[in-house]
Amino acid sequence: MTKNIGILVGSLRVESYTKKVAKTIATLFPDDYNISFIEIGDLAIYNQDFDDKNTIPDSWETFRDTMKSIDAVLFATPEYNRSVPSVLKNAIDVGSRPYGASIWDTKPAAIVSVSPGAISGFGANHHLRQSLVFLNMPTVQQPEAYIGNVLSILEEDGSITKKETLDFFQTIVNAFIDLIEKNSK
Ligand code: FNR
């Protein structure tokens, strides 16, 4: 059966390296996987009053509805100050509420962290992982996807063509697919 994979990218930058990595990874799924990039840049900042008083911004409603049809989530994130960029944390918070209606619950996930630096977004990767544990999302553990020194794998046009890199990305996708299949009801 076709699976819907949602990709959330933690950078809004037009020329985002993380988005370029995510776009390449998106091409490596089998044909019966339907991949969509989910917009998170327009989500109103989380404010619990909106849920408590039922004055939910349209952007939240659209996001929560869209995520209901998503079977599994790939998070591609840069690292901001050794943690998760606020735009991505905001999307996680918006999706997690109202209490008891989290759109994340039981959905398989994979995390890819990306950085021009050598530490490879480790801090963002693991802070995000901490939230996903609480949100009850089974998450790929191996291979760990720390994409450091990202400029060394990007061609001038933003594509990624090195065979070694694509082979590694494929192992990430394969592990994610295994996890999704194991968690299929
Ligand atoms: C960064 N950057 C960064 N890089 C890193 O490896 N660890 C970090 O903690 C931070 N912190 C940080 C904070 C803020 C506010 C900014 C704007 C940037 C650099 C970051 O990796 C770089 O800007 C990337 O290009 C961001 O990813 P995208 O937008 O290319 O996907």
Sorted by where each starts, the structural domains of the chain and their CATH numbers stand as 3-182 (3.40.50.360)
pLDDT tens, N- to C-terminus, the chain (185 residues): 899 999 999 999 999 999 999 999 999 999 999 999 999 999 999 999 999 999 999 999 999 999 999 999 999 999 999 999 999 999 999 999 999 999 999 999 999 999 999 999 999 999 999 999 999 999 999 999 999 999 999 999 999 999 999 999 999 999 999 999 999 86
Query: Ligand 1 site: residues with CB under 6 angstroms?
Result: 11, 13, 16-18, 78-82, 114-117, 119, 121
Q: Three-class SS string for the chain? A: CCEEEEEEECCCCCCCHHHHHHHHHHCCCCCCEEEEECCCCCCCCCCHHHHHCCCCCHHHHHHHHHHHCCCEEEEEECCECCECCHHHHHHHHHHHCCCCCCCCCCCCEEEEEECCCCCCCHHHHHHHHHHHHHCCCCECCCCCCEECCHHHCCCCCCCCCCHHHHHHHHHHHHHHHHHHHHCCC
Q: Which atom of ligand 1 is nearest to the CA of 9?
A: 31
